[in-house]
């Protein structure tokens, strides 16, 4: 039987917490170590299942990977070889596709099984391959992806959508391509910025970090380096929601304010207003938790979008937070057509939600939640169910919590340190 959490809710969370390193930065950065001519030392690496899977893939290729501290990793890819990736490992992590560009740049070819990951709707990979083709690769798609390139050449590349992982693959290919690449309509999320900064630390020349247009002068040798991964802004959003729904007081240390602008605007619309002071964010108890209507008294809308809009991965948290706020809000999940399907579990716990279609839900609050038995369908919905369980009266059991642990490091231990009553059981 998969692991489960048993949670007794109705208790405020109080204290100080530091966010883990950004999972979605750690994965492409680990993949990029294949481009380095020397060992790479990484700090603030989250010790979670997805990171362990990426490390296993690197080791499968012949890299030497060593945990040198609780959250520090040394990667030496000098002995890595070109061979097909393990289909079983790839099926367990969507980020396996991030190995396409560095393997192609280093060995001239890559054979990649279809990636796995969360089932939150169709997640197309076309953008990756269109970008690699623009840089000189040939792609054959069947029951696996076969990519070849005798030589990558810089090009003016317009991505057909601002895909995060597509942008990351394009960046990793472009820094090794001969000549200049202009990458347009690119993603600029904090984790993409971290990858670009890591590549610069290795010796790459990249302009436009933080924008949707990158200028890359490729073909430079890339050396080993030391790099610290930034804080996970999605985890910070989760802790904002945890403090608000349990009416606790949390201080989050080590945040990057520039990463949180849209997140804070979104929570402000729900009447949840943390205080940002330098690299410290405080959520006071007794938040107003009143949904702010649009001008004229119209029902407001909270929607996600590519950076710098409200993050798609924080939408599940916002859904649960809204159930504890006075008023009505339309949640518009634009990015993934299956992400809102977990709301039926919230309805079973007492939430007042109408799921209009796969992308939109209307939430009326506040609704007292009661404990229940639920599943964790994916990383973010699983964390949202954990919020609901901590806000609810009574006891809840959350099954399949391995999904949560793919993205949140030692979450049960860290929550207990803040006053949560939560136990983890295996089998």
pLDDT tens per residue across span 231-260: 999 999 999 999 999 999 999 999 999 999
CB 302 within 8 A of CB 310: yes
Please give the average per-residue pLDDT across 318-326, as a whole number. Answer: 98
pLDDT tens per residue across span 352-406: 999 999 899 999 999 999 999 998 888 889 999 999 999 999 999 999 998 899 8
In order of start, what are the domains of the chain with their CATH numbers?
A: 4-20+231-425 (3.65.10.10), 23-228 (3.65.10.10)
- Its pTM stands at 0.93
In this prediction, residue 413 carries a pLDDT of 96
- Chain-centre distance for alpha carbon 148: 29
In this prediction, residue 326 carries a pLDDT of 98
Please give the average per-residue pLDDT across 162-184, as a whole number. Answer: 96
Please give the average per-residue pLDDT across 410-427, as a whole number. Answer: 94
In this prediction, residue 115 carries a pLDDT of 66
Return the closest-CA partner of residue 426 out of 416, 412, 415: 412
pLDDT for 119 beyond 60: no
Q: Which member of 50, 76, 118, 378 is catalytic? A: 118
pLDDT for 121 beyond 60: no
118 is catalytic: yes
Percent of the chain topping pLDDT 90: 82
- Three-state SS for the chain is CCCEEEEECCCCCEEEECCCECHHHHHHHHHHHHHCECCEEEECCCCCHHHHHHHHHHHHCCCEEEEEECCEEEEECCCCCCCCCCHHHHCCCHHHHHHHHHHHHHHCEEEECCCCCCCCCCCCCHHHHHHHHHCCCEEEECCCEEEECCCCECCEEECCCCCHHHHHHHHHHHCCCEEEEEEECCCCCHHHHHHHHHHHHCCCEEECCCCCCEEEEECCCCECCEEECCECHHHHHHHHHHHHHHCCEEEEECCCHHHHHHHHHHHHHCCCCCEEECCEEEECCCCCCECCCECCCECCEEEECCCCCECHHHHHHHHHHHHCCEEEEEEECCCCCCHHHHHHHHHHCCCEEEEEECCEEEEEECCCCECCEEECCCHHHHHHHHHHHHHCECEEEEECCHHHHCCCCCHHHHHHHCCCEEEEECC
Distance CA(381)–CA(320), nearest Å, equals 10
CB 212 within 8 A of CB 288: no
Please give the average per-residue pLDDT across 42-63, as a whole number. Answer: 94
Most confident of 93-97, 115-119, 302-306: 302-306
Interacting residues of 413 by C-beta distance below 8 A, sequence separation 6+? none
Bridge partner list, 180: 217
What does pLDDT average to over the chain? 93
């Amino acid at each position: 039987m998969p692991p489960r959490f048993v949670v007794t809710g109705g208790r405020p969370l109080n204290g100080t917490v530091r966010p883990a390193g950004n999972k979605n930065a750690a994965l492409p950065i680990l993949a990029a170590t294949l481009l380095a001519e020397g060992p790479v030392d990484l700090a603030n690496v989250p010790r979670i299942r997805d990171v362990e899977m990426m490390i296993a893939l690197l080791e499968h290729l012949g890299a030497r990977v060593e945990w040198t501290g609780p959250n520090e990793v040394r990667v030496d890819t000098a002995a890595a070889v070109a061979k097909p990736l393990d289909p079983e490992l790839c099926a367990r992590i969507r980020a396996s596709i991030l190995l396409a560009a560095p393997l192609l740049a280093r060995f001239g070819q890559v054979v990649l099984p279809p990636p796995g990951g969360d089932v939150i709707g169709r997640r197309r990979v076309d953008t990756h391959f269109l970008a690699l083709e623009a840089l000189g690769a040939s792609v054959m798609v069947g029951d696996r992806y076969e990519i070849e390139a005798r030589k990558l050449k810089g090009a003016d590349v317009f991505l057909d959508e601002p895909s995060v992982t597509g942008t990351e693959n394009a960046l990793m290919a472009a820094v090794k391509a001969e000549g200049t690449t202009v990458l347009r309509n690119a993603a600029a999320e904090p984790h993409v910025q971290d990858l670009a900064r890591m590549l610069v630390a290795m010796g790459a020349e990249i302009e436009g970090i933080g924008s949707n247009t990158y200028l890359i002068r490729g073909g430079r040798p890339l050396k080993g380096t030391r790099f610290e991964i930034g804080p996970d802004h999605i985890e910070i959003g989760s802790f904002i929601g945890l403090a608000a729904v349990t009416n606790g007081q949390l201080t989050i240390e080590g945040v990057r304010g520039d990463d949180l602008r849209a997140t804070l605007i979104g929570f402000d619309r729900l009447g949840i207003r943390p205080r940002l002071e330098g690299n410290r964010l405080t959520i006071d108890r007794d938040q107003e938790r009143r949904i702010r209507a649009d001008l004229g008294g119209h029902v407001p809308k909270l929607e996600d979008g590519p950076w710098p809009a409200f993050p798609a991965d924080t939408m599940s948290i916002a859904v649960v937070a809204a159930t504890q706020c006075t008023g009505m809000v339309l949640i518009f999940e634009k990015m993934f057509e299956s992400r809102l399907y977990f709301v039926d579990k919230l309805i079973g716990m007492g939430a007042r939600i109408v799921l209009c279609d796969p992308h939109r839900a209307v939430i009326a609050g506040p609704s007292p939640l009661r404990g229940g038995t639920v599943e964790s369908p994916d990383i973010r919905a699983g964390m949202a169910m954990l919020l609901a369980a901590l806000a609810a009266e009574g006891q809840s059991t959350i099954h399949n919590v391995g999904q949560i642990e793919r993205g949140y490091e030692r979450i049960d231990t860290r929550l207990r340190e803040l006053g949560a009553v939560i136990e983890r059981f295996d089998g």
